[in-house]
Amino acid sequence: ADKPETVAAPKSPIQPLTLKQAVFSPDYIFMYLMFFANQLFGVIVLSRLSSMCTDIFAKSANTASDIVSVNSVFNCCGRLAFSAISDFLVRYFKMEKTYARKVLYYFTLGAQIIVIGSLPTVIRHESFTFFVIEIFVLTCSYGGGLGTIPALVTDMFGAYNVGPLHGIILTSLAFGAVVGGITFNNTYNGKVADGMSVGEAYIDNIQVIFVIVCIGFVVLFLVRTNIEDRFEPGYHYSLCGKRVISIPPKEKDVKQQEAEPETAGQKLPETA
């Protein structure tokens, strides 16, 4: 009997990288910083949402509790919707996978910049309705960033090391919650103790977060989705098919990259 023909699986354009190579690559470092900025407002300020409702807008504890409950729904919706939208862009608009995920982060960070930038005005005018709407948008963006990051990590570096790479990038979430939370609380309490109003104390802290989110938006630009740029020695960035940034590698990095591909190829299976 004739043997059935075997069809070779298409070769992945992602070059096999060791965990060390992936973690210390420029793209992963920029992704880490971008993700830190995307999640910072959520892990710090949203944890104080109930207090903001009662202290700034003089709402009852029951009203504040209801807002927190509804807000968690927007968190869930953001996690589901943004990752699904990025898949939709890939399947129906034929976008390259990593670029589609990157577009979603431009939206989440851009939305946060607009909302956080206008939040001080909303607080000063004590407009509770606009405040709630903006918080829901921010929470949706926060959840969307958290829900999309596993897909971005996998598309950028393949499936083999996705577990540790995802775990490492989530440490930015913990770092923001612990260090950022403690800094926020100490600064806030100090300003209130000095006689500043509760609203202005929040605004001063929110403006610091606004700057960090803006930096994250800029850093996202440096995350490369072009395969040729990513795996050519040095740092190169192309825009609209033209190379706009080209930094040659150091001599020691060239020697290391020449020595490591064979080892990496032997250790790692083909990535999907």
DSSP 109-158: HHHHHHHHHHHHHHHHTT-HHHHHHHHHHHHHHHHHHHHHHHHHHHHHH-
Residue 116 included in any domain: yes
CA distance 139 to 118: 15
Residue 165 included in any domain: yes
Per the structure, the complete domain to which residue 137 belongs is given by 19-225
Find out whether 131 and 125 touch, Cβ atoms under 8 Å: no
Residue 14 included in any domain: no
Q: What is the pLDDT of residues 256-268, one digit of tens each?
A: 555 555 445 444 4
Determine how many CB atoms are found less than 10 A away from the CB of residue 60.
10
Determine how many CB atoms are found less than 10 A away from the CB of residue 78.
25
pLDDT of residue 250: 79
Residue 156 included in any domain: yes
Residue 246 included in any domain: no
CATH of the domain at 80: 1.20.1250.20
Q: What is the pLDDT of residues 48-99, one digit of tens each?
A: 999 999 999 999 999 999 999 999 999 999 999 998 999 999 999 999 999 9
Residue 255 included in any domain: no
Residue 95 included in any domain: yes
pTM listed for this prediction: 0.86
Find out whether 143 and 77 touch, Cβ atoms under 8 Å: yes
- Average pLDDT of every residue of the chain: 88
Using the 8-state DSSP alphabet, how is residue 5 labeled? Answer: P
Residue 12 included in any domain: no
Q: How far is CA 79 from CA 72, 111, 222, in A?
A: 11, 15, 24
Mean pLDDT of 132-157: 95
Considering only CA atoms, which of 180, 231, 251 is closest in space to residue 209? 180
Count up the domains in the chain and report the number.
1
CA distance 202 to 123: 9
Q: What is the pLDDT of residues 234-258, one digit of tens each?
A: 899 998 888 899 999 876 655 555 5
Q: Look at residue 1 and tell me whether its pLDDT is greater than 80.
A: no
Helix (H), strand (E) at residue 44: helix 26-44
